[in-house]
Each structure stands twice: as structure tokens, then as C-alpha cells.
Amino acid sequence: AQSVTQPDIHITVSEGASLELRCNYSYGATPYLFWYVQSPGQGLQLLLKYFSGDTLVQGIKGFEAEFKRSQSSFNLRKPSVHWSDAAEYFCAVGAASGTYKYIFGTGTRLKVLA
Amino acid sequence: SQTIHQWPATLVQPVGSPLSLECTVEGTSNPNLYWYRQAAGRGLQLLFYSVGIGQISSEVPQNLSASRPQDRQFILSSKKLLLSDSGFYLCAWSKPASGDNSPLHFGNGTRLTVT
């Protein structure tokens, strides 16, 4: 069965520091993977997606993620965090063919210290 | 470009009252439509999805229902709200499943408080 695990519920980093948010998935075939960001009281905004090809994908707001099949991971990274990056981040696996169901992790809440 | 509208943004309703949340999508045809609920401090729970007019799939048995009266309109309803229905409700759309596994695109959500 499909599943997504985000091991870190909360992460705190200082502004200007690098960031890595972890995501592990379980999927029977080549996964379609996504990262979303949610600011308080807002909907989810797509940061980036991986379907195939280059395993390092670039997204908006300076984020990138690397797909590692051997580790079943799709970790999100940013070299230098800005205070405005404080939000909740969700990793998701796309719908398996014919199911229409996307599976989301439980999210990682990022706090940025000035 | 495609846009998704969801309203109202916030809603306070007494227990036992009815509910109607509406979501519309513009700029695309025959989208897949979804309702999610997000309880405080928890992840996203899929409530309903629809792949076409009048086609609704329910993921969680509860006192909520969904309808899709038009191609790009998705409505979440309840006849009698419970306290446990409080939460943040998100509507989302994706391209029709035709081998293209497109991402979900979310509305801005509705904060529902049942008192």
C-alpha cells in the first residue's frame, strides 16, 4: 500500500541556515512525488514535483528535492532559509493509476529563528 | 490559467445546523475534484473525490456528503453539523487521469468552527 512518512513533526532552523526536510514513501511502482507548503490559514501551494528523469528537481522559492529510489526518499532542501519560509510542509505521493487518491504525509512544521 | 475558488473563508455554525461549502474551478474541463479536511495539528484527510458530474466517491463514513452538480462545481454539505466537524476544509482539483499524473491544486480553504 502507498504511504508517506515525514519523520520530523517540527524543525527549527536559524535564518540563513540550510534546511533539509525528510520524506520517505512506500509505493509499488515509479512514484509521482510532490512537496507542498502551507502558510497558516491558507491552502497548500505546490513547491515542486517529480515524475521521472533528473532526480534533482528545482522548485519555486529556491527549494529543491532529490529523489533517491534506493532509499525511497524525496527530501526537500534549501541552502539558505528565510524567515518567510516558516510554514508547514507536506510531502505527497501521486495517485496510482485508476485510484485518483493522493497520499500525504502528516507534515513538518518549520520554525525560523531570526 | 486555471484557478480554484472556495467559499466562505470562515464559518461559525451551531451544532445541528446545516452546512454548504462550495468550490469552483475555472480554466479547465472535466477536472478531478477533491474535498480534504485538516484537523488542528494533523495531516490531510481525504473526504470525497469526483471524476465527473454526479460521480462521488466517499472515503470516510460520516455525516458529510458531497455533490457535483456541474463539471467544475463541487459542494460539501451536511444536514446536521457535529462538534467533530470543526476543521479546515480544502477543495482541490487535478487534471483528469489519462496517464498524466498531475499535481493537486488547492483552494484557500474554509475554516469551520462548530459551536
Q: Is there a contact between B43 and A107 if contact means CB atoms under 8 Å apart?
A: yes
Report the residue count for chain A. Answer: 114
Reading chain A (114 residues) residue by residue, the pLDDT tens digits are 788 999 999 999 999 999 999 999 998 777 889 999 999 889 999 999 998 888 999 999 999 999 999 999 999 999 999 999 999 999 999 876 666 788 899 999 999 999
- Cα(B10)–Cα(A53) distance, integer angstroms: 41
Whose cell is 512506500? That residue is A26
Q: Decide: helix, strand or coil at residue A16.
A: coil
> Which of A42, A44, A34, A37 lies closest to A93 in space, CA to CA?
A34
Q: Which of A34, A41, A100 sits opposite B97 (nearest CB)?
A: A100
Which pLDDT does position B14 carry in this prediction? 97
Interface mutation target, options A37, A39, A44, A52, chain B, most CBs of B under 10 Å: A44
Searching chain A, which residue's CA lies closest to the CA of residue B107? A43
pLDDT in tens, A22-32: 999 998 777 88
